[in-house]
Chain A
Amino acid sequence: MKKQKKLLVANRGEIACRVFQACRELGVETYAMMTAEDEQSRHVTYADQVIEVSSYLDIQSIVKAAKKAKIDMIHPGYGFLSERPDFVKAVEKSGITFIGPRAQTMELMGKKIAAKKLAEKNKVPTLPWAQISDVKKLAIAAKKIGYPLLLKASSGGGGKGMRHVNEESELLAAAESAAAEAQAAFGEASLFIEKKLISPRHIEVQVFGDGEGGGVHFFERECSLQRKHQKVWEEAPATNLSKKTKDKLFKYSLKLVKATRYKSAGTVEFLVNDKEEIFFLEMNTRLQVEHPVTEWITGADLVRAQIMQVIDSKSFKLKKTQEPRGHSIEVRLYAEDPFQGFIPTPGKVMELSWPTGPGIRVDSGIEKGQEVQISFDPMLAKLIVWGESRELALARLRYALDETVILGVGTNQAYLRMLCDHPSVIDAKVSTQFLENEFKYEDFLPSDNEMSLIVSASQLGIGKRKQDQLGSQQDIHSPWFEFGGLND
């Protein structure tokens, strides 16, 4: 009998749990990593074994612990070290297999500038851009490209280290704060500037490469609904986009797969304007948060494919793409308060209940009773739905959001629910500017009747009752309470 393989997920929360599922289906032993402050996190519960590390960004500590535990493979998830070539090198140097593209591909694509040059070389259109090597020359370069523009971190993604600059007066302060954020998030502060399109759509293509220049695409995703460059809502396939444009997107993406001899799962991001002109944005050399929508319309299991590719590279064959089926939407539940300017809302998850039923998938990183920490990303979970049509998918999303219960921490749940009813969302006519410039969020204020319900519930201690106290308190012995009036 073959020795069971061991896989460490160098990540936390929902994505670690997602990878663990694929591991268990493949008979691979699962290892989680954990820092002292993250002891309560959900992925720690679901792993076969747990390795304690000093920090999720500490390459030496992680590789050393992995080597000691005789780990065969490391899956980096997304964020953290997932796009750090030095991590890949350290992992491979220690004799452990890294699941993802080669360090050299990451290095190239991680340097957004080198990536742009590569795209240009392969006749993939890019936005006008300039590198910032000297802060003193920043204003000159910015003028040349023209305002408005974007300041971006040369490494990293997810909107961190990115700033909008509308005019010259904002430039220096924006550059400083973006550099600091990039330093904190990716350990590197270098920036570049790029022309900002007015209301583009964000369309990306899921690819999977064999590492030899061959590869397949798994169609496109539309991720135009973003706030501060943080994706909030993703769909596959894109609506209101011509087949001709889609085919171009696939062609460009596969060109880059070929040029980099891309291995494993990756995403090529584009901006598309209202004339359906395409601009290459960047390539993300990792599995993405929104991979489930692609999995749902293609039937692929991207994580399973990633693992199988490294377990048995010889017999692993990339499956040809089939036509996508139906429509899938993902929303990200964040610990933030949309009403108070999206301030973070850490706290204790006091009540938690997830929806189930046809066409509903929940990739969660939280459990009831868990403290949501301030030191980590605010994403709590992803709610993903599928329907034969977009209309059905949207109806399912409404249902799924209504059935979602996360109490004790503030979330953007009501915000997402309200989005489902917006005419532009219903018609799939949104751009990357929609959430910040067009969408007006209003909180749900309870009606008089609902208010009286809340007060009654409070006075009867409905929220304080715990399952384990059932029957132990005399006045809540009966399943029915009656409450007469609210006179103090």
Chain B
Amino acid sequence: MTKKIKVYGESIELTDNTTVWKFDHRPGGWVIASCKDKNGKTIRKRIYYTELQKNFWVNINGKVSCGKFEDTRKSSSATQTNDDLVAQFPGKVRKILVEEGDQVKEGESLILIEAMKMEFTIKAPFAGIIKEVLVKAGQQLSPGDVYFNMKA
């Protein structure tokens, strides 16, 4: 089975599955990861790595990235109904700009969310009809909560 990792929303297939990495936990938290390249030369990288559930964060020689390990056993399209607009971050609903039955254009502003003392506008990812409004003004949202059900 091929291994997939989602890094910054981009799904990447793992092609290198032969490199043997050694990890040396250094006092203080850095980890030295080392492997041999084709010519037998040691490649040494200083990393910090942490994981929570399927999410990871890594600093490799100063380069930072984060991502998610995808479960390849499930097909990704079956787990999510594409028409649900899902909150990506926690916040408070400041204003809902559309009503049920509204026809919206792609990129049209649908809802204003307040988070970290800033206001964020959530826009329609595609043109369609708002089938259902599932949030109320003033409501606190957690990531994964559904704002609207939309039909293209």
Contacts and interface: CB of A to CB of B under 8 A. Distances in A.
A449 interface: yes
Contact of A184 (B35, B62, B117, B120): B117
A360 to B, nearest CB: 14
A289 interface: no
A391 B133 CA distance: 53
Interface stretch (A121-129, A267-275, A381-389, A410-418): A410-418
A378 B90 CA distance: 13
Interface in B81-127: 88-91, 94-95, 112, 114-120
* Interface class of chain A by DSSP: mixed
Contact of A408 (B10, B43, B57, B62): B57
Nearest to B15: A448
Interface string A142-171: 000000000000000000100000000000
Given A185-B117, A335-B116, A339-B8, A350 B65 contact: no
Contacts of B64: 411, 413-414, 417, 444
B14 interface: yes
Contacts of A411: 64
Contacts of A36: none
Given A405-B29, A443-B8, A458-B51, A488 B3 contact: yes
A378 B8 contact: no
B42 interface: no
Contacts of B50: 350-351, 407-408, 463
Interface of B: 1, 3, 5, 7-10, 12, 14-25, 28-31, 33, 35, 43, 45, 47-52, 56-67, 69, 88-91, 94-95, 112, 114-120
Interface of A: 160, 177, 180-181, 184-185, 228, 335-336, 339-340, 343-346, 348, 350-351, 353, 374-378, 401-403, 405, 407-408, 410-411, 413-414, 417, 443-446, 448-458, 460, 462-465, 467, 479-488
29 contacts: A180-B119, A184-B114, A335-B116, A351-B29, A351-B50, A376-B116, A376-B117, A377-B116, A407-B66, A408-B50, A414-B63, A414-B65, A443-B8, A444-B65, A445-B65, A446-B7, A452-B21, A453-B21, A454-B5, A456-B19, A456-B23, A457-B23, A457-B49, A460-B23, A462-B23, A481-B22, A483-B23, A487-B17, A488-B1
